[in-house]
Structure 1
Amino acid sequence: MTSGPARGGAGQGPGDRRPRVFEPDFLTELFRNPLDPGYADAAARRRNSPSSARGRDGSSRAVGLALVVALGFLFAVAYRQTVAEEPGRSQARAGLVAQIKQRQAETDALAAQADRLREDVGRQRDAALSGSQASRLRRLEAGTGLGRVRGDGVVVRLADAPAAEKDSVTGSGGGPPRVLYTDLQRVANDLWAAGAEAVAINGQRLTAMSTIRSAGEAVLVDFRPVTGPYEVSAIGPGSMRERFDDSRAAYLMRDLVESVGLSFQVRQVDGLTLPGAPEPRLRYAEPSVSPSPSSSGVEGSSRPEPSGSGASPSRSGGGR
């Protein structure tokens, strides 16, 4: 068995030559002509019919022009509507601002009247009580924050910084350039820890029930707004200034002065006067409705006393 002639004429004799056959290379043809022949035919037909191309170009221009006209009309209508409603919005805003200022003036007048009535009540009470009892009551009021006090102390002044420039890369600033309610909380707490006997923020006396909170960007002291610059006044011993300078609040505020530009000042003041806080609204416990004896198994029910006992439980819980 002999092998057949190889492809391409290898092993053929000189008198029996055949033409060499080359098979098509698919990958080479794909890279040489990447587009389908149908696309080339469509492009050729488009080049051979210039009238249809001009018609399509004209229709596209007409559609674009109509779209531009429609958008311009919509913008014009929106601008006219905005300009027409601006006087009404400005008037409503001015009315709200006037109402707010009126309510603030009324609130300030009522607060001043309450202070005068409180002073009248205090004078009449002192006249009705003996000297020792009135003196003891005034000391208790001063300690709880309900009485006006006078003495030497310090004033801590906090003020917002100018608006910080945003970083060009990250888009964020170096920190909040305004005084936060937490800053006032830290300063007040560290003044108490330094030995303060009475503390007030912008004239608002702090008591054991006082709160320092925020509502949006506003700072509330006992639910009354205070605005910067903030002055935290404290009456206490002579060592209070030095102890407060070594506190954590003072250290953090000095760091904020260097980082974001907040204003932080502490000064000694002689003869400082702090007003009294408003009378708190006291809540008293009231006994609940006694359940029926049949519901002795329900939580909170009382077991009926045996008849003839006549004994009442003592307040101090005697008998244990």
Structure 2
Amino acid sequence: MAEQDAAAQAEGLLEQIADTALDDDYYVVRAGDYAQSREFNTPLTALVLAVFALLVMMAAVQTRNDRPATERARSTLISDVAARKELQTEREATAERLREEVDELSASANRFDPSYQNLRIEAGDLAAEGPGITVVVSPSLQRNVDGGITDDDLQILVNGLWYAGAEAVAINGERIGSLTGIHFANGAINVNFRDIAPPYTVVAIGQSDTLMQRFEDNPAGRYWASRQKDAAVQFGVTPSSDLDVPAAPKKRMTIRHAKAIKGEE
């Protein structure tokens, strides 16, 4: 019904424009031939007006039909813009939180933590310096006795120094770490998979005035005293107030299989 009303209004408007397009004086002057021409063209004019009205009606119908789709597209666009703004806000908040965490971690990394540093020294991850003793052992110069130095001898020596209170130990410049092995292979003793040769110089950092005494009193000290007496191996100790040992090789500090037990400290 609305479409018919729109078409009728358009046709009436066009007829009114056509009827009043020229002044009345013009029709008076051209009353003869023009009147006939006008009467002759009336059906054609009506047809043109009908076609135009139809076009107007179709445009109106098309506009009304397209309106819901346009409204849906507009609504979808508004929702998309709102969602993107919300996502951007969330990402900005996340970025700010991560920046704060990075700042906290950076500040923590720059702080000196004595307990953490001590753990790294005990594990051999850091070079160390301080007072202590230097023990030099060599095979016996006598050929008729079993006076060689074995990997077992060096293991007993190092374990005895640990037991006596040593805080860091190195043999011929090779730091003894938690994964360091002392064993005989390919005709030589090797430490951290590097061959070493006599004389074997063992540096132990600790309280120098008690370190040697505690070593002599424990089983390792008594073992070496027996080796000196029975096999004439050379064994010398020198206290010092300023010794240093290197860090253990990084390859001997990498944990591949062991995992911490949850809940244990």
Tell whether 2:113 aligns with 1:142: no
What are the residue-to-residue correspondences of 1:11-26 with 2, within 5 Å? Answer: none
Aligned residues of 2:183 and 2:189 also touching (Cα < 8 A): yes
Per the alignment, in what secondary structure is the counterpart of residue 132 of structure 1? coil
For the 8 Å contact 1:164–1:260, the answer to whether it is kept is: no
CA distance, structure 1, for counterparts of residue 213 and residue 120 of structure 2 = 28
Q: What 5-or-longer segments of structure 2 have no aligned partner?
A: 1-104
Structure 1 residue 233: Cα displacement: 1.0
Q: Residues 88-134 of structure 1, C-alpha deviation per residue, up to 9 Å, x if partnerless?
A: xxxxxxxxxxxxxxxxxxxxxxxxxxxxxxxxxxxxx999932235x
Give the secondary-structure state (helix, strand or coil) at the position aligned to 1:142.
helix
Alpha-carbon separation, structure 1, partners of 2:187 and 2:211: 31
Residue among 132, 139, 142 paired with 1:160 = 139
Q: Distance in 1 between matches of 2:258 and 2:152?
A: 33
Offset, 1:155: 1.2
Structure 1 residues 1-320: aligned runs within 5 Å: 129-133=109-113, 135-165=114-144, 174-175=145-146, 177-237=147-207, 238-279=209-250, 280-283=253-256
SS in 1 for 2:112: helix
Amino acid in the other structure paired with 1:272: L
For residues 222 and 285 of structure 1, what CA distance do their matches in structure 2 show?
19
With a CA cutoff of 8 Å and minimum separation of 6, indicate the structure with the bigger relative contact order: 2
Aligned counterparts of 1:153 and 1:281: Cα–Cα separation in 2:
28
Any idea what the Cα deviations from partners look like across 1:127-148, whole Å, max 9, x if unmatched? Answer: 9932235x55433321211101
- CA distance in structure 1 between the aligned counterparts of 2:187 and 2:235, rounded to whole angstroms: 19
Gaps of 5+ in 1: 1-124, 166-173, 287-314
- Once residues 231 and 222 of structure 2 are traced to their aligned partners in structure 1, the CA distance between those partners, rounded to angstroms, is 14
The structure whose residues are more often helix, as a share, is: 2
Identity %: 31
Give the Cα separation in 1 of the matches to 2:235 and 2:110: 46
Calculate the aligned-residue CA RMSD, in Å: 2.7
**Radius of gyration: which is bigger?**
2
Q: CA 1:284 to 1:261, structure 2 compared with 1: closer, same or farther past 3 Å?
A: closer
